Amino acid sequence: MHTKENTSEEIDLGQLFKLIGNAINTFFNRVYNSLKAIYHLFILCILFFRVHFFKFCLAVILGIGLGGYLDYNALRVYKSSMVVQPNFNSVRQLYSNIEFYNQLIKQEESEELAGVLHIPQSAAKSMTNIEITALTDRAQKILKFDEFIKDLDTTTRKNINYQDYLKNFNVINADFHEIQIEATAPEIAKQCQKAIVAAIKTNDYFRLQKNVNDDNLAVRDTMISEQLKEINKLQSFYREIKILEVQQSRGATNINLADNKIKQTPEFELFEQMEKLKEEKTELNIEKANTKNIINIISNFPNRGTLITDLRFKKIAQIPALFVVILILILIIPGFNKYLANYSK
């Protein structure tokens, strides 16, 4: 019986090792075939470009020539940037306004654009693009996440992590945003700055939010000031008591240290409370400064924009790339059509 069992176990182990060996061989064969196919495709591409090398060179040379000519005769485009910090949930309205201005530019509605931005129509015609982007980095996202979870209960906090927050992070929630204007006249952006900001400031809802916020800050400021005055009065009172105790204890021979420690405790608590109020006062002043305006201008538009020299936006780089792509399609389509004809047979 034992001999039969041992033989059966040996057969099972042999089959197991055989299956493992087959799986390993299958895996490496697939990897080898994939690498072989990639190498084959790479060689075909090299052969393709080798056969048509002079055609590609000609396409690049013609593209550079045409692109350089167009760039030489094209109007120069200048870019200007302004960084802002919207308050009272006005960022969505700001994004909506910028998108509206850009649509007017794309549709060449220079008259209406000049009206909403309060600039001459000739200046409106010179604008080629306006956009807004959020300025965010990892540090700001971490701070935003910390502010977000502070308002949640303990159970909800356990079910939300930083990665989940990043997946649902909206760029509108960023603190700072950059507005960019591109135009053929370098001074246009500066002329538009006042109208862009005024469109947010004159909104009745945001003005109401700002007035309510100012009133709340004023109440908090008054309360902190009153508390500081009361603490000063209590400190003066405790100092007077301390002086009387010292005068009365001059003729005494025994001093109870425990009683003295107890009497010093209220003074220490008052000192701690005053420090906390001073910190609140500092934070309140910072909040006042940050919410003084509906939209804070961190950096203004410059008086003159900077000339766009990025090669990616130049015709001298775009047209050769376009010619090369067109040439590839022209050369590939007949061969692909022939392949399809043979495949159908």
DSSP assignment of 96-122: HHHHHHHHHHHTT-HHHHHHHHT--HH
- The whole-model pTM stands at 0.67
Cα atoms in the 13 Å half-sphere on the side-chain side of 1: 0
Mean pLDDT over residues 240-248, rounded?
A: 76
Amino acid found at 247: Q
Comparison of pLDDT for 56 and 164, the residue scoring more: 56
Residue 81 parent element (H or E)? strand 78-86
Take residue 339 and report the two structure tokens written for it: 């392949």
Cα separation, 112 vs 330, in Å, equals 44
pLDDT digits (tens, 9 = 90+) for 267-285: 777 778 888 888 888 888 8
Residue 250, pLDDT score: 65
Per-residue model confidence as pLDDT tens digits over 19-47: 887 888 888 889 988 998 999 889 988 88
**Per-residue confidence (pLDDT) for residue 11, from 0 to 100:** 56
Is pLDDT above 50 for 255?
A: no
CB 127 within 8 A of CB 77: no
Q: At 124, is the secondary structure helix, strand, or coil?
A: helix
| pLDDT band for position 157 (cuts 50, 70, 90) | low
Q: Which of 322, 323, 327, 319 is nearest to 70 (CA)?
A: 319
Calpha distance 220→281 (Å, rounded): 9
Contacts 24+ apart (CB under 8 A), 231-234: 231/270, 231/273, 231/274, 231/277, 234/266, 234/270
Number of H helices, E strands in the chain: 12, 5
Nearest to 81 by CA among 190, 199, 185: 190
Span 139-153, average pLDDT: 70
Close Cβ partners of 211 (under 8 Å, ≥ 6 residues apart): none
CB-based contact 140:174 (threshold 8 Å): yes
17 Cβ contact list (under 8 Å, min separation 6): none
Output the average pLDDT for the chain: 82
Work out the pLDDT band at 7, boundaries 50, 70, 90: low
Side-chain-facing half-sphere of 214: CA atoms under 13 Å? 9
The least confident of 76-90, 194-208, 264-278 is: 264-278
Residues in the chain: 345
CA-only gyration radius of the chain, Å: 37
CA angle centred on 184, ends 181 and 186, rounded to 5°: 70
What is the rounded CA–CA span in Å between residue 318 and residue 26? Answer: 46
| Helix, strand, or coil (residue 304) | coil
pLDDT at 104: 94
Instruction: Please tell me which of 8-22, 108-122, 126-140, 236-250 the model is most confident about, judged by mean pLDDT.
Output: 108-122
pLDDT band at 235 (very low <50, low <70, confident <90, very high): confident
Tell me what the mean pLDDT of segment 96-112 comes to: 93
Per cent of the chain over pLDDT 70 is 83
What phi and psi, each to the nearest 5 degrees, are found at residue 137? -140, 180
Higher-scoring residue by pLDDT: 169, 3: 169
List, in order, residues 6 or more apart from 149 with CB less than 8 Å away: 157, 160
For residue 87, the one-letter residue type is: N
33 vs 303: CA distance, rounded Å = 62
Cβ atoms of 123 and 185 within 8 Å: the answer is yes
